Structure 1
Amino acid sequence: MTTLDVRVQAARQRLNSSLMTARGSAALRQTSVALIDALLIAMSALAAYAGRFGLGLHNNMFGPEGPVWAYYAIPGAWMATLALCGAYALHHLQTGMVEYQRVALGSGLFAGAVGIGCYLTMSDLSRSFFILLFAIGIPAMLVGRLIRRRALMHLRARGLFQTSVLVAGSPSHIDEVARVLRREKWLGYQVVGAVTSAEIEETPAGLPILGRVSDVVELIEDSSIDTVIFAEGSFPDSQHFKRMAWDLEDLDTQMIVVPALTDISSERLNPRPVAGLPLVYVERPQAVAASRWGKRAFDIIGSSILLLLSAPVMAVVALMVKLEDRGPVLFRQTRVGRRGEEFQCLKVRSMVVDAEARLAALQAQNEGAGVLFKMAKDPRITKIGGFIRRFSIDEVPQFWNVLRGDMSLVGPRPALPKEVALYDSDTVRRLDVRPGLTGLWQVSGRSNLPWDETVRLDIYYVDNWSIMQDLTILMRTARAVLGSSGAY
């Protein structure tokens, strides 16, 4: 046995002694979802029955009470329909909109089946009970699913309910996958090791190598690994992958294949199997679409309304700023907009009047990342400035920049000219759209984000823009501002 084989064997032993598999948590998640749905459906049925017969809502137009057994059978049949539509399939309970779509689909089919069945059998099921049941039950289940998912994401971010993952591929692609999974902790994937064809002990990022790709089945049987992710470089050809799928057929392990695509939204991907080839059509980046009239009209209407709504607050804040040190209320700073055009970005002054002159003396205490200057306790911030920065009130005048066309309600962070001078060829992509008053960078952590993560989020936004994404970011912004996390 070679020295490398000995070290790989030692890595496997460490894995077996420390791995806390989450295989049981998968069944627990499915069971908990089913129990929550059953409770909500039962409560909805009781509420609908009480509304129909207990609160005086029935009248002649709804007919007689109908068969009593139907009011007990409907909740169980509804649950069965949801199960048949895949509402409890584990891969639908992970991420994305599929979970909600399955609930809506199953509920819609069941409602249609009940309506058709009552018509064909001439059943006297109360129409008011029927309407109330689904009017209450469907929204209740969708909200219940949302709350459950939010709670699970929070627990996963704290290291609970983890799914053990083995990553296969070339060392560089293994590290890329592992880096994303460690960054997005809310997904709940715990990378426990890797397999590759290279003769190495660990990947460049330090992930232990547990063997070769051909050892995957043995590793799963010995360590009860929940999921195997096959990245690029896992197999020399498609036949090897097919044989691996055969080998894993009898094992309760999820197979995931990572294509050589990153930071592309699902809306731009369109899988189309052609002649046995799993082709993925990728739509063009959306930077041009993000600069067209639709987004501009949205900005004009939105900024006009927000300017009117914020006027009373701005009047009070302006008075407080003026009374504190008698200095100007507004602060104008040159920023770089779309296609590198400079503009005067407006803010409520939150620092002392000579803040720019004091900046050089504070450079050694910079806590920002990359080209950004940030200090959690910047001595230049005034008393009222600390309050308005915490809740982003200092940025309200930028609604005027949005109305003028210098900025957008949503977009990349507006950069200083000296920051843009340090951009590399990829980071310049941020300038292909108007900078935003808010963006993915703000709702994902604000000043707490490292520079490379800020750039990644901004470029993702530019490439994958959609009006629905803008609306989602605006809704998340209110929560980020009220929480004030990362604002300084």
Structure 2
Amino acid sequence: MWHARTAETTAGGRTGSRTWTVHPHPRGKTEWYLPFALTTDVAGVALPTALLLHTDHQPYATVWAAAAAAAWVSVRALRHRYAARALGESRGSLPVLHDWLILIGVLAVLRAAADLHHPPLLCLAALLPAPVLTLICRKLTWHHLVAARREAQVVTRVLVLGEPTAAGDVAEHLSGRTDHPYVVVGVVAIGEGPAPTGAPVTARLGLSAPQDVDGDAREVLAAARQLRADFVLVAPGTRMTGPRLRRLAWGLHDSGTELALAPGLVECAVKRIETVSAAGMALLRVVPPVRNGVQQALKSVMDRAGAALGLLVLSPLFLGIGAAVRLTSPGPVFYRQVRIGQDQAPFMMWKFRTMFLDADARKEELTQSNEHDGLMFKMRRDPRVTRVGRLLRRTSMDELPQLINVLCGAMSLVGPRPPLPEEVARYDDVELRRLSVRPGMTGLWQISGRSDLSWDETVELDLHYVDNWSFTSDIDVMARTFRAVVDGRGAY
């Protein structure tokens, strides 16, 4: 029994640490996941459809309700939503939206083919509860699965194979996060030397491939059976040559043991990776980040239109907040500050004033009280913040004037946070990459803990956004921002 280090998760599965135990016989996923998902999907379509069609006195209401439910389940089954590996693994909204749009298309074709005359708006209203209930189901199973994995249950036991340093790095990377099902139970090292991980080194292979075709596989299989590993993960390294890996795969697959390869890529979204073949070699093509094209045009349209609409709709709220700021402390309603935007271009960022007028002058004397481990200055109980300012920060309403920056094109609705010039002056080459896109009012940092994140975690989240951005990911972040704002965690 091995004690592994893991993390108390934020929304991104990243913070804190504690010790947990990998049980000798971790159980599989709870059996109610599949029936719960199927029942929710069937009821979410069949009941509203039957009710509305009956209420509108449409013929064959029950038959078409059953057909719509069957179509919804079929769409989701064909897209592998009920597979054991998929159940409970995500609470994201975009896959459900994609499935629902496919369902609408399928039912529209059936309606035309059967020459039905049900009112289109009535049909659409009947289908609206389906994605909502499916999302609730996914969220409940996701929370249950996360809680189980914090207790080292419902996990996949992994045996890492590779040169000591590489295998240790892979094991440490997996044990440092809890937003995945993999638990490293041991290491098979190629050659001598310590593996920098808490996982036991259960076997060692020679530096060169053995003459016996099954030599490597025999040692690895013995270790896998001893540790009851579910599959073997091969870490990158020069000693694991193509022919040697091929022979190892033969032996493992013949015994029914799965094999996976860690290419060494980190924080690279799966959607950016393509598999190709050349001269019999399997290659991974990493698609460049999206920097222009239709998706960027859609983002610009959404930013400008969203900012304009937000300023119009929220104008009464702006007046109320402005009055509260002005009446409770001396000074202007708005606070303007130079920030650094895309490609290191400075701009003037707008916020509602949340501090007293001498806040900037007092920052130096509070430097020793900084509660953030990186280049940003953060204090949970900052004495410079006014009473109204604390409420505005808690609800993130102090940032609403940044809609002006979005409308002018200096910021986006979603993106990394805009840093101060003195922070950027201390950036290294990696941290400067955060500035290759427009900064945003919200982003992965906000839905993952905000000020509670360490500096390294903040940079990692921003780089993940910069490298893996897509228009649909912006939609997902905005949908999850509302919950983060209501929760208020890390807002100070």
- Which TM-score band (shorter chain)? 0.7 to 0.9
**Shift, 1:315, TM fit:** 1.3
Q: Is the deviation greater in 87-96 or in 254-263? A: 87-96
In 1, the alpha carbon distance for the partners of 2:441 and 2:53 equals: 52
Deviates further, 283-292 or 264-273: 283-292
Deviation per CA, 1:54-92: give whole Å up to 9, x if none. Answer: 768354xx59x98xxx99999999989977875543334
Q: Does the 8 Å CA contact 2:189/2:201 hold for their aligned counterparts?
A: yes
Matched, 1:39 2:43: no
Question: Retained in 2: the 8 A contact 1:201–1:208?
Answer: no
CA contact (8 A) 2:26 2:154 kept: no
Deviation at 1:485, TM superposition (A): 0.8
The one of 143, 159, 163 aligned to 1:166: 159
The residue number in structure 1 matching 2:201 is 209
SS where residue 444 of structure 1 aligns? coil
Q: Aligned with 2:311: secondary structure?
A: helix
Separation in structure 2 between the aligned mates of residue 226 and residue 233 of structure 1, nearest angstrom: 22
SS state at 1:331 partner: strand
Residue 361 and residue 253 in structure 1: after superposition, are their counterparts in 2 closer, same or farther (change >3 A)? farther
Distance of 2:230 and 2:94 partners within structure 1: 22
Distance in 2 of aligned mates of 1:476 and 1:354: 35
Q: Secondary structure at the match of 2:391?
A: helix
Partner Cα separation in structure 2 for residue 355 and residue 329 of structure 1: 15
**Structure-2 residue corresponding to 1:262:** 266
**1:155 corresponds to 2:182:** no
Cα deviation, residue 422, structure 1: 0.6
Q: Secondary structure of the equivalent of 1:344?
A: strand
Equivalent in the alignment of 1:448: 452
User: For residues 473 and 442 of structure 2, what CA distance do their matches in structure 1 show?
Assistant: 12
Correspondence 1:433 to 2:437? yes
Q: Give 2:482's aligned residue.
A: 478
Aligned CA-pair RMSD: 4.3
Is residue 355 of structure 2 the alignment partner of residue 351 of structure 1? yes
Deviation at 1:304, TM superposition (A): 0.8
Which residue of 2 is the match for residue 57 of structure 1?
Answer: 57
Q: Which moved more, 1:288-297 or 1:209-218?
A: 288-297
Structure 2 residue aligned with 1:218: 222
Alpha-carbon separation, structure 1, partners of 2:449 and 2:471: 22
CA deviation string 1:130-163 (max 9, x = no partner): x89x958964784365235432453256334333
Q: Deviations over 1:206-249 (max 9, x none)?
A: 44423236433112212212333222128522232233333333
Separation of aligned partners in 1, 2:324 and 2:467: 41
Gap regions ≥5 residues in structure 2: 4-20, 206-215
Change (3 A) 1:90 1:274: farther
Change (3 A) 1:367 1:386: same
Output aligned runs, 1:304-383, within 5 Å: 304-383=308-387
Stretch of structure 1 that moved more, 208-217 or 457-466: 208-217
CA distance in 2, matches of 1:301, 1:74: 35
- How many angstroms apart in 2 are the aligned matches of 1:309 and 1:400? 13
- Write the distance in 2 (CA, Å) between the matches of 1:471 and 1:81: 23
The answer as to 2:412 corresponding to 1:420 is no
Higher deviation after alignment, 242-251 or 100-109: 100-109
Does the residue aligned with 1:272 lie in a helix, a strand or coil?
A: strand
Report the counterpart of residue 24 of structure 1 in structure 2. Answer: 27
Residues 303 and 402 of structure 1 are in contact (CA less than 8 Å); yes or no, is this contact kept in structure 2? yes
Partner of 2:84: 90
Contact 2:163 2:191 (C-alpha < 8 Å) held by counterparts: yes
Q: Which amino acid aligns with 1:324?
A: T
Shift of 1:423: 0.6
Amino acid at match of 2:85: H
The reply to whether residue 190 of structure 1 matches residue 183 of structure 2 is yes
Residues 332/254 of structure 1: CA separation in 2 closer, same or farther (3 Å cut): same
Deviation at 1:415, TM superposition (A): 0.7
Structure 2 CA distance for aligned equivalents of residues 353 and 41 of structure 1? 56
What letter matches 2:154 in structure 1?
F
Partner Cα distance (2:476, 2:74) in 1: 33
Give the direction of change, closer, same or farther, for the CA distance of 1:157–1:419 in structure 2 (3 Å limit).
Answer: farther
What's the offset of the Cα at 1:446?
A: 0.7
1:124 aligns with: none
- Cα 1:51–1:249 shift into 2, 3 Å: same
Q: Distance in 2 between matches of 1:290 and 1:58?
A: 42
Contact in 1 for aligned 2:160/2:232 (Cα 8 Å): yes
- TM-score, normalised to structure 2's length? 0.78
Separation in 2, partners of 1:145, 1:298: 29
- Matched position secondary structure for 2:240: coil
Match of 2:404 among 400, 410, 419: 400
Contact 1:291 1:434 in 2 (8 A): no
CA distance in 2, matches of 1:156, 1:149: 10
Q: Which residue of 1 aligns with 2:15?
A: none
Q: Does 1:457 align with 2:461?
A: yes
Q: Secondary structure at the match of 2:403?
A: helix
Question: What is the TM-score normalised by the length of structure 1?
Answer: 0.78
The residue that corresponds to 1:200 in the other structure is 193
Change (3 A) 1:478 1:22: farther
Which of 1 and 2 has greater Rg? 1
Match of 1:386 in 2: 390
**Alpha-carbon shift at residue 388 of structure 1 (Å):** 0.4
TM-aligned CA deviation for residue 41 of structure 1: 6.0
Distance 2:78 2:411 in 1: 48
Indicate if the aligned counterparts of 1:87 and 1:99 stay in contact, CA closer than 8 A: no
Opposite residue 35 of structure 1, the aligned amino acid is P
Q: Percent identity?
A: 33
